[in-house]
Amino acid sequence: MKTDVEELSPTRVKLTVEVPFDELKPNLDKAYKEISQQVRIKGFRPGKVPARLIDQYVGRGAVLQEAVNDALPDLYGRAVQESEVFALGQPDVEITELQDNEQFAFTAEVDIRPKFDVPDYDGLEITVDSVDVTDEEIEQTISNLRERFATLTNADRPAQEGDFVSIDLAAKIDGEDVEDARTTGYSYEVGSNSSIDGLDEQLAGMTAEESKTFTSTLVGGEHAGEEAEITVTVQSVKIKELPEFDDEFAQLASEFDTIEELREDVRKRLEQQKRAQQLGQARDKALEALMEKIDIPLPDSVIESEVQRRNEQLDQQLQMYGLDREKYLEQQEQTAEEYDEELQKDAREAVKGGFILDQLALQEELTVENEELTEYVVSNALQMGVQPDVLARHLTENNQIPAVVSEVLRSKALNLVVEHVKATDENGAEVDLAALQRRLAGEDEAEAAAETGADTADAAETAAAEDEKTDA
Going through 197-298 in order, the beta strands assigned E by DSSP cover 211-217, 227-241
Q: Dihedral, CA atoms, 48, 54, 60, 61, nearest 10 degrees? A: -100
The pLDDT > 70 percentage for the chain reads: 93
- What pLDDT, on a 0 to 100 scale, did the predictor assign at position 447? 42
In the predicted model, is pLDDT for residue 455 greater than 70?
A: no
Beta bridge partners, 183, equal: 169
Mean predicted lDDT score pLDDT of the chain: 87
Decide if pLDDT at 50 tops 90: no
Amino acid 461: pLDDT: 39
Q: With a cut of 50, say whether residue 452 has pLDDT above it.
A: no
- Average pLDDT in the 254-260 region? 93
CA distance 449 to 365: 32
Q: What pLDDT is recorded for position 348? A: 95
DSSP H or E segment with residue 279: helix 259-292
φ and ψ at residue 429, rounded to 5 degrees: -80, 140
Fold of domain 151-241: Chitinase A; domain 3 (3.10.50)
Give the alpha-carbon dihedral of 357, 361, 366, 367, to 10 degrees.
70
- Residue 381's alpha-carbon distances to 3, 32, 276, 388, 390, in angstroms, are 43, 45, 20, 5, 8
* Alpha helices by DSSP H, 294-400: 300-320, 325-332, 336-363, 370-384, 388-397
Q: What is the pLDDT of residue 465?
A: 39
Mean pLDDT lowest among 54-58, 60-64, 167-171: 54-58
CB-hemisphere CA count at 13 Å for 237? 20
- Residue 463 pLDDT grade (very low, low, confident, very high; cuts 50, 70, 90): very low
Name the nearest CA neighbour of 431 among 284, 267, 275, 292.
Answer: 275
Angle, helices 433-440 vs 259-292, to 10°: value is 130
pTM of the model: 0.71
What pLDDT does 274 receive? 93
Contact 226, 181 (CB under 8 A): no
Specify the pLDDT at position 227: 92
Mean pLDDT of 260-282: 94
pLDDT of the residue at 451: 40
Delimit the domains of the chain by residue range: 2-112, 151-241, 259-440
Q: How far apart are CA 63 and CA 32, in angstroms?
A: 7
CATH topology identical between 2-112 and 151-241: no
Instruction: Report d(CA 441, CA 305) in Å as an integer.
Output: 34
Q: For 66-75, 106-115, 313-322, which range has the lowest pLDDT when averaged over its residues?
A: 313-322
Binned at pLDDT 50, 70 and 90, residue 449 comes out as very low
pLDDT (0 to 100) of residue 471: 39
Residue 209: count other Cβ atoms within 10 Å of its Cβ: 9
What is the mean pLDDT of the segment spanning 364-369?
A: 93
- Indicate the range of 168-172, 181-185, 324-328 predicted with least confidence: 324-328
Domain 2-112 has CATH 3.90.940.20: no
pLDDT at 93 over 80: yes
Distance, first Cα to last Cα, the chain:
82
What pLDDT digit, counting tens, does each position of 396-441 carry?
Answer: 998 889 889 999 999 999 999 999 999 999 999 999 888 888 888 7
High-pLDDT (> 90) share of the chain, %: 61
259-440 to CATH, choices 1.10.730.10, 3.40.50.620, 1.10.3120.10, 2.160.20.10: 1.10.3120.10
> What span, in angstroms and rounded, lies between the C-alpha atoms of 127 and 427?
9
Q: Are 199 and 216 in contact (CB under 8 A)?
A: yes
The model's confidence at residue 458, banded by pLDDT at 50, 70 and 90, is very low
Q: Could you give the CA distance from residue 355 to residue 296 in angstroms, rounded to a whole number?
A: 9
Residue 462 is predicted with a pLDDT of: 37
The confidence score (pLDDT) of residue 18 equals 92
Which pLDDT belongs to residue 472? 33
E strands in 210-275 = 211-217, 227-241
**Spatial CB neighbours of 171, under 8 Å, sequence gap ≥ 6:** 177, 178, 181, 182, 218, 223, 228, 229, 230, 231
**Model pLDDT, residue 443:** 52
State the burial class of residue 458 (Cβ atoms within 10 Å of its Cβ: 0-12, 13-18, 19+): exposed
